[in-house]
Homo-oligomer: A and B are copies of this chain.
Amino acid sequence: MREIYAEIITIGDEILYGQILDTNSQWISQQLDDIGVKVRRKYSISDQSEVIKTAVNESLAQSDLVFVTGGLGPTKDDLTKHSLAAMFEMPLELNQSALEDVEDIFKRFGKELTEINRQQAFLPKGSTKITNERGTAPGMWFDRDKKVVVSMPGVPFEMKAMMTKTILPKIKKRFQLPVIIHKVIRTIGIGESWLSEEIARWENALPTHLALAYLPGKAQVRLRLTGVGEEREVLEAEMEEQVAALLPTIQSYVYGFGDLEIEEAVGELLRAKSLTIATAESCTGGYLAHKITSVSGSSDYYTGSVIAYQNEVKIQELNVSPKTIEKHGAVSEETAKEMAEGIRKKLNVDLGISLTGIAGPDGGTEEKPVGMVWMAISFGGTVKTRKIQSPGTRILNIEYSGVKALDFIRQTLIEA
């Protein structure tokens, strides 16, 4: 079976100038990926007739399917429909069904149909109308030598309804598609290059229809294994076998699969063990608590926190000894320990975690540079500590420390 290729073209100067973020093409990609259509290329171009024609022509020469979004509004800077009509030599004609759709939409909102909107019911002769349930601009489907061009509005929720309801089902009927499966393994606490060395033998032995990609993030690397085959069950079984063979090598770094975030993984561990948690934060200023509580249902295990930015708050609210701060400083293993103990006792939770460090950009010294953070966990009768060095600017240091703290919690819970 041969691969079916697609290209996605988003039209609009507002994308090129960075005024809006293009999220349409990601969403379309995901939908196509799910049905085994391979996206070869995406591009964003300007709202000009010649540019649009050239782009669609080029894509059509390369790929089986071309998705065009944007440039279908009623205003004069929206040129997609006219460009496609000219390119395919299909003159515009009134499409009765499209007119009824537009009239319906206007009726629904209790408005009079304007001449400008009536123009939207004119479609290239020979194209197939795609109903727009959520707006006035119909979509268009063009057949061309066994290839297909689809034109949709740029408004995301109009485009998505068209894709889901009409276009994807039509594509599945029209083309014979392969089976594509992705498996994502989420790791934390190991850099991309070390990870790649650890798994080199496994990776090199992968059959050619299975491909591995490294997707790095903040203190994390996602491994994505992509398989292409003809029978879903066979491919699924083969990939599960490969993942099972890989896991023992990197077990301690793996916190989950698919879309699972580290804060969700930590939440699942806490819930499974019926444990409660509280944070005592200095340099992260509430970021760790924010990550933990960004998970829906976190009130099952999260109680509360004290953010102790000033030393007096550490002393008064977390029971840190003034002598400890005087002797070792607020950013020290000793202070972190007392903070973790303090929050655990104060909020009567199972696990108390603390962070104290230098977020920057000021306040660093040679001994305690910007980005240096001490963390401590008070849990199960002991206090463990860890020192990390975050890599960058203030916000990054805060975020990196938060992720590292989540990993510290995860490891502590797993070892418990």
Contacts and interface: CB of A to CB of B under 8 A. Distances in A.
When all copies of this chain in the complex are counted, the total is: 2
A397 to B, nearest CB: 11
B155 A216 contact: yes
Interface string A34-64: 0000011111111000010000000000000
Interface in A254-302: 279, 281, 284-290, 292-294, 296-299, 302
Given A41-B43, A310-B304, A289 B296 contact: no
A13 B196 CA distance: 18
A29 interface: yes
Interface residues of A, number: 99
Given A43-B42, A289-B286, A307-B305, A224 B14 contact: yes
A416 to B, nearest CB: 23
A207 interface: no
Contacts of A193: 74-75, 114, 116-117, 136
B39 A73 contact: no
A134 B310 contact: no
B293 A290 contact: no
Interface string A137-166: 000000000000000000101000000000
A286 B305 contact: yes
A22 B134 CA distance: 26
19 contacts: A15-B26, A16-B29, A17-B39, A18-B28, A21-B23, A43-B44, A75-B192, A75-B193, A75-B214, A116-B196, A286-B286, A286-B287, A290-B398, A302-B309, A303-B313, A304-B313, A305-B305, A306-B306, A307-B307
